Amino acid sequence: MAQAAGDSADARAPLPDAQPGEPGLAEAVREWAAIARSGARERLAVAESAVAAAESRRAAARTALEAERELAALQQRYADARRRSDSLEARRPEYERLRALQDRAPQGRPRRPPPCRCATTPERGAPRGERGPA
């Protein structure tokens, strides 16, 4: 609106050149105040628009930052997995050698576990029902 009105909409425009008591002074001051209010409203609208644009840019920047952090975390996980894979691959010949030794080693014959004697051990006493006087 200030662009269409020119300099008259500027709140920095001088007050009317009338002396107190002159006819028309009150009307001139009201007109000047109306112009100043409209200029202030316009500046407020421009400022609110600038704030909204800044908030929008901030939200977009935050979204981009979160996306970049997510990408960096995924790339780090991938790099860690590659390092683990490379480490395992470097140790594969030793693993294969030991596995072959284990496969060629004689197999021991299976053993049965010793019988359980927990019911007849001196610490536990005789089986239930066969206990003597305490």
Q: What is the pLDDT of residue 48?
A: 97
- Over residues 88-121, the pLDDT tens digits come to 999 999 999 999 998 888 777 777 777 777 665 5
The whole-model pTM stands at: 0.47
Is residue 30 over pLDDT 80? Answer: yes
* CA 33 – CA 23 distance, rounded (Å): 17
Across all residues in the chain, what is the average pLDDT?
82
Q: DSSP of 76-130, one letter per residue?
A: HHHHHHHHHHHHHHHHHHHHHHHHHHHHHSPPPPP-PPPPP-TTTSTTT-SPTT-
Residues whose CB falls within 8 Å of the CB of residue 77, separated by 6 or more in sequence, listed in order? none
